[in-house]
Chain A
Amino acid sequence: MSSAAVTTASASPTTNAGKSILARLGAAFVGRLVIIIPYVWLLFFFLIPFVIVFKISLSQTAIAIPPYTPALDFSGGVSGFLAQLKQLSLDNYAWLTQDALYFNAYVTSVIIAAVSTVLTLLVGYPIAYGMARAPATIRPTLLMLVILPFWTSFLIRVYAWIGILKPEGLLNQLLLATGVIHQPLIILNTYTAIFIGIVYSYLPFMVLPLYSALEKMDYSLIEAAKDLGCPPTSAFWKITFPLSLPGVIAGCLLVFIPAVGEFVIPDLLGGSQTLMIGKTLWNEFFANRDWPVSSAVAVILLLLLIVPIMLFQRAQARAQEMDR
């Protein structure tokens, strides 16, 4: 943006100096604006809602609209507002530690998300690798096919899996008909179904960053490794995989983070007994109408996810620093 401003200004330096300065200021403002917009967006749609949720998590539940106290208002003046602030407490967070349900739900969610992420990586890596090594002419088509499922609603796609996985579903019919099994497999309403659902739903988020990392890799590096005496499998682990690590990390974060808080998949495929934090949150909010506790659950979930991301980013920044 600023470079464009410089060009316009220098294109007519002598005609009207005042105008060119104005143009430059205008362009600088536009340049700033472009940077400001996403921050304003984040402020209004992330930071402020988070502060509100955080505030609710410090409140107490009440039979009222909204269902918690205090509902901060400024009618009582500054002193009234401060008095309301004093009612806030960390009770809900303490409550989360007293009932093992929440701890178990967090741990289960993290484990399920981690296992699903590893499974998605195992399924996604060969796909991305095959795409990156495919002839350049068919790569756009393959890319299109990966994105294609997004054209249908996520909810409908997860629903479709019920039809496939249920005891009298398509998968069991196929396996029974071909004689592979004699009793229908119980997959629906188990953790297996949740893994299948998460791997299926989040596969594109794994494949795309992996593909972009693998695709830009210079194939002559593999040839060089082979030339120096490295067999293909070993060349993969010594050259291809380390060089695709940024894609692996990006893909894993893109799968792990939403999978921890996933609600639809465990609800539809995992049945009633699954204990995941997304479902717990839903229950607290809609079934118990306990907004403060569900807000506390949400805040803890956010912290749980933000900490590893920040640690990862700091490690990455340090690695870049060392390279410089």
Chain B
Amino acid sequence: MKSLGSIRRDFAPWNDPNAKPYIQFDNVTKKFGDFTAVNNLSLTIFEREFFALLGASGCGKSTLLRMLAGFEEPTAGRILLDGQDLRGIPPYRRPVNMMFQSYALFPHMTVENNIAFGLKQDGMPKPEIASRVAEMLKLVKLEQFAKRKPHQLSGGQRQRVALARSVAKRPKVLLLDEPLGALDKKLREETQFELMDLQQNLGLTFVVVTHDQEEAMTMADRIAIIDKGEVMQVATPAEVYEAPGSRFVAGFVGNVNMFEGKIARGEAGSASIDAGNGITIRTDNAGTAGAGTAVTFAIRPEKIKVSSKKPAEAVNAIEGEVYDIAYLGDMTVYHVRLDDGQVVRASTMNAARITEDPLSWNDRAWVSFRPDAGVVLTR
């Protein structure tokens, strides 16, 4: 069986035409004065999905989250949650909870009172509150910190209190605004997996806003890539990476080499692309683009092989000169300047400790790739 990337779990309601959408953004527009933060955006999120809104800062992703939480009302369009139109419902009556980027822990309350805050608002009986708080503290492994105040905790502990507080009410949807933004790299990686486990165990729907593509790729079932208030692509991490829908998405997620060109000859998906300067690229992923169409051929660095001699069997092989080498331990990144001046980035896993074909600066080298390694973009 062949598939894009790796399959993480058997969960794909977006491919099921009968699946009921849980959260729906219907042609939502949000304007702040003259500035359009969200522009006629439509999006569907399913129950129990871990959904990521990925984009650069100021792209409107946080506004989407704040509209879902009820802190902002859409200028136009509507937002449905489980079939109910959320317009006019104040934040304190919405069955969603948010984990704030700044955590927004109440500084004058202890950890347990922070976690119990939402439960008390609901008028939950005291013994139940106590047992729920204990359960939450156990979940985030902060049992011995129950009586501390937020300023007596480390950044990572505060993050976990914020998380416990926001899931304590068992919301229908948990909104996370840059949940790992304030943590250092190592802690962030650990916490990513904790968040995924938590979402699985509680069976909640998570909507996370992030500018960190690695974070989105690691955690999310699907990613929506947002730019200037519009959705560029909604897809699984593997699809976003291996089958980007546009030049923007290909360039935004991960590293990519792009060749501008024209389809010279094409039949049934495979085509030859004339990339100028005598470079012809043969690809199996041309889709429906016909001869003469201006296209961009995008290929990821790890799918390009660098060698000192032209590989005999290679369909696509272009000659150039090694311009830069970055040795990163687990892999090596080569920058090869082709004879037409374009620099191609290629990365090789250092699977063995000894390289058979050592390359150095200014060596002549060949970059080669398989016909199915890249994608053809028309947008």
Q: Which residues on A are within 8 Å of B, measured CB to CB?
A: 218, 220-221, 223-231, 234, 238-239, 242-243, 323
* 19 contacts across the A-B interface (CB closer than 8 A): A218-B102, A223-B100, A224-B98, A224-B104, A224-B105, A226-B71, A227-B70, A227-B96, A228-B92, A228-B97, A229-B118, A229-B169, A230-B92, A230-B117, A231-B90, A238-B117, A239-B106, A323-B149, A323-B151
Additional A-B contacts beyond A226-B71, A229-B93, A229-B169 (6; CB < 8 A):
A224-B98, A228-B117, A228-B121, A229-B118, A229-B121, A238-B117
Asked if B108 is an interface residue, CB under 8 A from chain A, the answer is yes
Asked if B313 is an interface residue, CB under 8 A from chain A, the answer is no
What chain B residues lie within 8 Å of A218 (beta carbons)?
Answer: 102, 104
* Contact present for B71 and A230 (CB under 8 Å): no
Asked if B356 is an interface residue, CB under 8 A from chain A, the answer is no
Asked if B5 is an interface residue, CB under 8 A from chain A, the answer is no
A284 to chain B, nearest CB (A): 46
* Contact present for A226 and B107 (CB under 8 Å): no
* Contact present for B91 and A227 (CB under 8 Å): yes
What chain A residues lie within 8 Å of B151 (beta carbons)?
Answer: 323
10 A-B pairs closest in CB distance:
A228-B118, A229-B121, A224-B104, A220-B104, A226-B91, A226-B92, A227-B98, A229-B92, A242-B108, A230-B121
What chain A residues lie within 8 Å of B93 (beta carbons)?
Answer: 229
What chain B residues lie within 8 Å of A323 (beta carbons)?
Answer: 149, 151-152
Interface string of B346-377 (1 = CB under 8 A from A): 00000000000000000000000000000000
* Contact present for B121 and A221 (CB under 8 Å): no
Q: What's the Cα separation between A227 and B69 when bound, in Å?
A: 7
Asked if B190 is an interface residue, CB under 8 A from chain A, the answer is no
The secondary structure that dominates the A interface is helix
Residue with the highest number of chain B CB atoms closer than 10 Å, among A224, A230, A238, A323:
A224
Q: How large, as a class, is the contact surface on chain B?
A: 20 to 34
For B101, the closest partner residue in chain A by CB is A220
Q: What's the Cα separation between A231 and B123 when bound, in Å?
A: 13
Q: What's the Cα separation between A223 and B107 when bound, in Å?
A: 14
* Contact present for B104 and A223 (CB under 8 Å): yes
B265 to chain A, nearest CB (A): 58
For B117, the closest partner residue in chain A by CB is A228
Residue in contact with B117 in the complex, picked from A220, A225, A242, A243, CB distance below 8 Å: A225
What chain A residues lie within 8 Å of B70 (beta carbons)?
Answer: 226-227
Q: What's the Cα separation between A224 and B96 when bound, in Å?
A: 12
What chain A residues lie within 8 Å of B117 (beta carbons)?
Answer: 225, 228, 230, 238
What chain A residues lie within 8 Å of B98 (beta carbons)?
Answer: 223-224, 227
What chain A residues lie within 8 Å of B102 (beta carbons)?
Answer: 218, 220
What chain A residues lie within 8 Å of B300 (beta carbons)?
Answer: none
Asked if B122 is an interface residue, CB under 8 A from chain A, the answer is yes
Asked if B335 is an interface residue, CB under 8 A from chain A, the answer is no
A266 to chain B, nearest CB (A): 38
* Contact present for A226 and B90 (CB under 8 Å): yes
B163 to chain A, nearest CB (A): 13
Given A225-B117, A323-B149, A231–B92 Cβ distance below 8 Å? yes
Residue with the highest number of chain A CB atoms closer than 10 Å, among B91, B96, B100, B122:
B91
What chain B residues lie within 8 Å of A243 (beta carbons)?
Answer: 107-108
B169 to chain A, nearest CB (A): 7
B211 to chain A, nearest CB (A): 18
Within 8 A of A (CB), among B62-90: 69-71, 90
B62 to chain A, nearest CB (A): 12
* Contact present for A224 and B106 (CB under 8 Å): yes
Q: What's the Cα separation between A226 and B66 when bound, in Å?
A: 12
What chain B residues lie within 8 Å of A242 (beta carbons)?
Answer: 108
A131 to chain B, nearest CB (A): 22
Q: What's the Cα separation between A220 and B90 when bound, in Å?
A: 16
